[in-house]
Structures are given as C-alpha cells and as structure tokens.
Structure 1
Amino acid sequence: MQITPDGNIVFILPAGPLGSLPISATIVNTWIVMTILVVGGRLITLGMGPAAPASRWHLALEILIEQIRKQIQDVGGGDPGRYLPFIGTLFLFILASNVLGVVPGFTSPTGSLSTAAALAICVLVAVPFYGIADQGLLGYLRHYLRPTPLMAPLNVLGEISRTVALAIRLYGNVMSGTVIVAILLSIAPLIFPILLQLLGLLTGVVQAYIFAVLAMVYIAAAQGDEPGAA
C-alpha cells in the first residue's frame, strides 16, 4: 500500500556525469499544485483594477485575502501586510495540495514527510528573518536568554522541536487520511471511501489553517508580540 508519494518514481531525469536524477510523484505533484496556483492567480487577477468591474472571482479573492489579513492581525498584531505574502502562500499551497488530494490518482504533496519538513523549515527560517528585521540581530538573539541565560540551550532546542512537531503534525494528519481511505477501500469499495474523502477534504482545510496560524504565532513570539495583541 502506497502511503507516501516519495517512493513513487515517475521518471528518471539524466543528470550528466553525476548520474541520473529520479523524479518522484512528490516533486511532480508539487509542481502541479504550484502551476495551478500561479496560473489560477494570474487568470483571476486579469483585468483587476480600480475602474474595472469586480467579477465574482475578484470578490472571492478579495474576501480570502482580507480574511487572511484579519487572522494575521488577530494572531500577531501590527501590520499584516508584512506577513501576508509568506503566510498566505503557506496557506494556499497547503490548502490546494490537500483539496487536490481527493482527486483520483493525485497524491497530496503534503502527505510526504519531505514536503512537510520543507514547509516547516521555511517557518524555521522565517522566524529569525522577521525577528531580526523587527528587532535587529542583537535584539532577536536576546530573546534566547530569557528569562535567564541558562535557558539559552533549551530555547534553541524548543525552536528545533516545534519545527519537527509542525512537520510531523501536517504529515501525520494528511497521511493518516490516505491510509484510512485505502483500508476502507479494500473493505467497502463504494460508500466508506466517499465519506472519508469528504472528511479528508474538511481535514485538509483545517490543517492548512492550523499550519498558517502556528507559523504566524511563532513569528509573532520571536518579535516579542503576544498572540492576540492589538
């Protein structure tokens, strides 16, 4: 039973003197998701402007962006425009990957531990990036010494452990849905899989929301902002 797209090699790309480079379903599906988001975003924003009449797609996009901005502000405070490109991209990529997972033959890239780990590492890099931009290098490093310099190793370990937890949480939730559907498909090939696919769709949306919110919470904590502060 295939529970992760990592082991499914779609084709092998010649890589010159270093040998061949296997391309897994994870990479292919990731590029499919990115292509859909880029092309879809471009098509939706065509003709968008102050004087242009707003279509339903334009209104839907504006509502989505405003909801993301509001959530960022509720979690981290301050100007949400600073974090919208990063948090919005995380949310949309995970959401699209999880939603497309219900399409027969498509395995969600977020069901791969490598993809989940890559997304978590992006958050790990973004935390000091935004922290240093807001407080300066010394100001950011100072938060590792709180409440006492003796806590510095534990604070560093905490940064690493929450990154691991972020990756495993996303991977585990998406992969578990795939495994359950595969098991029920062998038991009752019609009714249960349909119900589980609907449940998986809801779970995928929730997981995208949770991942984006946690990313914003970690970034806000690195800047000394309390979640929920105005």
Structure 2
Amino acid sequence: MKLSPDQTVMFEAWGLAINATIFFTWVVMAVLTCVAILVTRNLRPDVPPNRWRTTLEVIVQAIQSQIEEIAGRPERHLLYFAGTLFLFVATSNLLLVIPGFEPPTASLSTTTALALSVLIAVPLFGITSRGLGGYLRIYIKPTVLMLPFNIISEFSRGISLAIRLYGNIMSGAVIAAILLSVAPFFFPVVMDVLGLLTGLIQAYIFAVLATVYISSATAPAAETPAPKTPAPDTPPNEKDSP
C-alpha cells in the first residue's frame, strides 16, 4: 500500500520522473484557475450575476468575514493569502472523490511547502505593516531573555502546520484502505462522505491558523496612552462688590 503520492510515478521521460504529487498539484491549480476565469469573465456592472458568480461571492465574503472576525480588522492581504490556502487545500481534498485522484496534501513535501509559505509570509507581512524595527521588537517582548524562545516558537509553528495537515490526510487514507479491505462495498460511500467533511475542516483549520499567525505579526503596536493634562483650576467666582 502506497501511503504517499510521492511513490506514484505518473510520467517518466528523458530521465525525469513526474510523481503524483507534482501532477495532481498542477491539476488542482488548473482547476482553480479555470473556474476563476469562467466565473469572472463577464464580471461587469452591466451583466447580472449568475449562480456561479453568486456562489463565488458567497465564498469570498465568508472568508473575508472570518478573517475580520479573527484579526479584528479588515485585512485585504490576508484575504488573498489565507483565501488561496483554503481554496487549494479544500479543492485538493474534495477532488479525492474522483477515482484515481491522489490529493497532493497527502504528501509531506506539499504540506511542508504550504507551512513554509506561511512561515515566510509572517515576517514579510509583519515588516510591511510594522517596519523592520517594529517587527523585530516582537521577539524581545516582554524581555530580551525571551528572544531564543520566540524564535523557536516561530519555527515550531511551521513544523506543526505541516505535520498536522499531513498526518490527518495520511491517517484518513490508511483508515480508508483498512476499511476497504474489510468491507469493500459498504465503507467506500461512508469514507467518501467523511473524507469530504475532513477535507473541508482541515482546509479551514489551516487557513485559520495562518490568519492568526499573520494577524498577530501585523497587529499595530499598542500605543501608550498620553498622560492627561490636569485641567486648570476654575477661578472662584468673584463676589459682587457692594
């Protein structure tokens, strides 16, 4: 039993082997690109929205509202980045119902690449929002003694993201293979439904964690409230002279 799509070779020519991870990653990218082009090709104010455009708008607005709820403020860059991560992971997992499709998220190389993209995006967005000095000061809060621990925590985030996503997808594939060997006619339907639900949940969790990490790095620094200037004493009312 092959536990990873890296072990499946799709094409091999001129000494180059294209495994299932690379092949199906490009399939997912092509599907998302084609759907986006078809839905937005008539995106004009004078053209009434169709059902596909309405569905896409609902998905985008749901992602945007979730990001605003997590970050506490509208973040357009988070919508582009976290939304893309969610759509890629969700599409990869949902296409599992197609016979012969091997989700690229079941490969540790894919999940590591996704986690590295988040790990790189955190400082990039943080420096863009806070400036280099303002971002680096995060690592020495509340004291400079926390510097090595904050650095270790930053890298452990990427490792945990990669292992969590890979472990959940791989465990689902292993359980499905075991159940198929026990009852090959009943469990495939159940596993397809559970696979769809698990795929959506994993995509949501991955995108939410990426949003939390980036929004914490781009959050504006807490401003120290300015000391209040005491109000001048009100001069006493002068008595009327007799």
Q: What TM-score bracket applies, with the shorter chain setting the length?
A: over 0.9
The Cα shift of 1:45 comes to 1.0
In the alignment of these two chains, the number of paired residues is: 221
1:220 maps to which of 205, 212, 215: 215
Of 62-71 and 74-83, more deviation after overlay is shown by 74-83
Contact 1:166-1:211 within 8 A present in 2 as well: yes
- 1:143 paired residue among 124, 131, 138: 138
Which structure exhibits the higher relative contact order, with contacts defined as CA atoms closer than 8 Å and separated by 6 or more residues?
A: 1
Q: 1:38 aligns with which of 8, 33, 37?
A: 33
Question: What is the aligned counterpart of 1:94 among 70, 73, 89?
Answer: 89
Shift of 1:13: 4.2
CA contact (8 A) 1:91 1:211 kept: yes
Distance 2:55 2:124 in 1: 31
Match of 1:11 in 2: 11
Give the structure 2 partner of residue 195 of structure 1: 190
Identity fraction in percent = 52
Is this contact kept in 2: 1:72–1:80, CA < 8 A?
yes
Code of the residue aligned with 1:2 in structure 2: it is K
Deviation at residue 29 of structure 1 after TM alignment: 0.4
TM-score normalised per structure 1: 0.93
**Conserved? CA contact 1:76–1:225, under 8 Å:** no
The residue that corresponds to 2:205 in the other structure is 210
Alignment match of 1:48 (pick from 34, 43, 46): 43
Distance 1:23 1:42 in 2: 27
SS, match of residue 167 in structure 2: helix
- 1:197 CA drift (Å): 1.4
Q: State the distance in 2 between where 1:225 and 1:139 align.
A: 9
Give 1:202's aligned amino acid: L
For residues 178-206 of structure 1, the C-alpha deviation after alignment (integer angstroms, 9 at most, x for no partner) is 11111111110011121011111100001
Separation of aligned partners in 1, 2:45 and 2:139 = 46
1:173 to 168, 177, 185: 168
Q: Deviations over 1:124-159 (max 9, x none)?
A: 011001100000011101100011111111111101
When you count helix as a share of all residues, which structure comes out higher? Answer: 1
Shift of 1:161: 0.8
In structure 2, runs of 5+ residues without a counterpart are 222-242
Task: Give ranges in structure 1 of 5+ residues lacking alignment.
Answer: 15-19
Which residue number in structure 1 is paired with residue 152 of structure 2?
157
In the superposition, the TM-score normalised over structure 2's length comes to 0.88
For residue 82 of structure 1, report the CA deviation from its aligned partner. 2.2
AA aligned to 1:166 is: L
In our comparison, the structure showing a higher alpha carbon Rg is 2
